[in-house]
Amino acid sequence: MSSPIWDESAELALKRIAASGAEYGDIRIQDSSTEHIEGEDRRIASIQDSRDIGFGVRVLYHGAWGFAASSILSLEEVPRVADLAIEIAKGSASIALEKVRLAPEPVHRDCVVTPCRINPFTVSLEKKTDLLLNTMETLHRQSGIARSSASLWACRDRKLFVSTEGSRIEWDLLAGQGECTATALSEGRFASRSFNTPYLRKGYELIQEADLLREAPRVAAQAVEKVKAPVIEAGEYDLVLDPEHLSLTIHESCGHPSELDRALGYEANYAGTSFLTPDKQGSFRYGSPFVSLVADNTEPETLAATGYDDDGVMCQHWDIVRNGVFVGYCTNREVAPKIGESRSRGSNRADGWGNIPMVRIANIGLEPGSATVDQLIADVKHGIYIEGHGSYSIDQRRYNFQFGGDGFWQIENGRRTHMLRDVIYHGITPEFWNGCDGVADRSSRRRYGFITCGKGQPGQSGWMTHAASPARFRKVQVIRGESSS
């Protein structure tokens, strides 16, 4: 899979690192192709085909890191960049008080390939643009729709990781996604409703199975219903949250606080720290006994299931919250030893070749319960069912949060009735999760992912999937998302 120049470059870089006296080093060479087709208001607004090739060299010298990267992959540039990474690491070491010590990891020599039925890059552009144009036309057939959008995205990453410890891992990974949105206009108000496939490591079968054309009439009709829907009365409600909505709630209120680098202060200047400090591990009641949140970077098709992370650590499955108690973190080889763990959880990832890897949220999912969705709703007298993503905001310790959604339905006396608009709920993370008193069973489990999880300076995007079945939360504070509240 890798070309001779990749192997030669890797060998060249590792030789320089070994000669420098550094205790560790690695090189990642990556060739990424991305196709993004965007439709807007019944037209194809852009088709972009990006090719991004480069390499990054990471060096640990006397317990301090240096990293350098370049988009010029040549036998002249590789030694320059390797030497620069070494020099930078030496500079870092000159002022370091505490030395970085890496958790041990066996040497791996492997090749990871995303299985797929239909390579999205072999599907004709005509077919894809036709799908998007037809989807937008279908959205506009609904009276009251003022604007529409539809898009398809596919990415292929070919990557080589080689370390001074002897690991050599190759990847050929795919990911894809598709979506459509309708915006309705009524009496000066506007409201949108969306349908999107999850971001998954699948071929074009992901788009075929999702069938945007089948979903478009429902999406358009619900956008119109939503813009005309009554506003919620502020107050305390029981909520039943669908898997797509929960993916964001899990991401923000469990995923980020369980990143160990955050908990140790590495992100204090930007993304923030975490209320889940190491002293709470093993004893803190994060949620009710119904709440088990599990990190699984081994589940096929999910974004973080890449076989190995960018430390060359094998992907794993572990508990973050077990029966309501906070028990585990997402870690890398650098931070795992700081809490006495002997092995990294394999959550160290870089946004492309040009960035240094850091701890990222794993595929954290909510374990299914035993109820059906209908049973969850049946036991709600005064509540709201929420689908999809809307507005969201959370403080820098991931404690005080606020979420909106994409679709809201009133629940009255155990029945889902009419749509609502401008619903916002807020709370304190552990109080919210302790209010969970039911999770639906595995049959309604769905997976949704993110490719734009922002963290780090310079900013990097992280990719991960969050699976959940619908879940019920008691006594949540709901407010109206408009000024008349």
Partner 1 sequence: MTVVNDKGLKLTSRDEFRFLSDLVLTRSSADHTIVRLRDHHAGTARFANNQVIQNVDARRGSLAVTVAFGGQQGIASTTDFTAGAIQETLARAERIATVSPIDPEYLPPPDPCVFPIRDTAKPETMAAGPSRRLEYASEAIGQCRMENLTGAGLVSSSATAVGIAADNGLFGYERRAGASFSLTVQAGDATGWSAAAHRSIDHLKVQERTLATISKAKRSRDMCELPAGRYPVILEPAAVAGLWAWLIRSLDAKSYVKGTSAFADKLGRAIVDERIMLRNSPDHMDLFGEGFSTDGLPSLPSVWIDHGTLKQLAYDRFTAKSQGVAAIPTLEAPMLSVDGPSVHSIQDLIKSTARAILVTNFWYIRPVNLRELMLTGMTRDGTFLIENGEIVSAVKNFRFHESPLRVFQQMDLWTAPMEAVNSETGKLLVPAMVLPQFQFSSVTRF
129 binds partner 1 (CB under 8 A): yes
Size of the site for partner 1 (CB under 8 A): 83
Residue numbers 443-482 binding partner 1 by CB under 8 A: 456-458, 479, 481-482
Cβ atoms of 330 and 349 closer than 8 Å? no
269 binds partner 1 (CB under 8 A): yes
The distance of closest approach from Cβ of residue 216 to partner 1 in the complex, given in angstroms and rounded to an integer, is 18
268 binds partner 1 (CB under 8 A): yes
Task: Give me the phi and psi of 218, to 5 degrees please.
Answer: -65, -45
Residue numbers 205-244 binding partner 1 by CB under 8 A: none
Measured in whole angstroms, how far is the alpha carbon of residue 57 from the centre of its chain? 25
CA pair distance 8, 183, nearest whole angstrom: 53
CA pair distance 255, 321, nearest whole angstrom: 11
95 binds partner 1 (CB under 8 A): yes
Residue numbers 183-212 binding partner 1 by CB under 8 A: 183, 185, 188-190
The distance of closest approach from Cβ of residue 98 to partner 1 in the complex, given in angstroms and rounded to an integer, is 6
Return the DSSP state at 321: E
Indicate the residue among 136 and 210 with the shorter CB distance to partner 1.
Answer: 136
Q: Helix, strand or coil for residue 8?
A: helix
267 binds partner 1 (CB under 8 A): yes
3-state helix, strand, coil in the chain (%, to 5): 25, 40, 35
Cβ atoms of 297 and 312 closer than 8 Å? no
Cβ atoms of 70 and 42 closer than 8 Å? no
119 binds partner 1 (CB under 8 A): no
284 binds partner 1 (CB under 8 A): no
CA pair distance 341, 333, nearest whole angstrom: 10
Alpha-carbon Rg of the chain, whole angstroms?
24
Indicate the residue among 92 and 197 with the shorter CB distance to partner 1.
Answer: 92
Residue numbers 316-345 binding partner 1 by CB under 8 A: none
Residue numbers 371-400 binding partner 1 by CB under 8 A: 391-397, 399-400
361 binds partner 1 (CB under 8 A): no
Residue numbers 32-51 binding partner 1 by CB under 8 A: 41, 43-51
Cis bond before residue 217 (omega within 30° of 0):
no
Binding range to partner 1, per CB under 8 A, among 170-178, 197-205, 420-428, 466-474: 420-428
Return the DSSP state at 261: H
Residue numbers 144-183 binding partner 1 by CB under 8 A: 146-147, 183
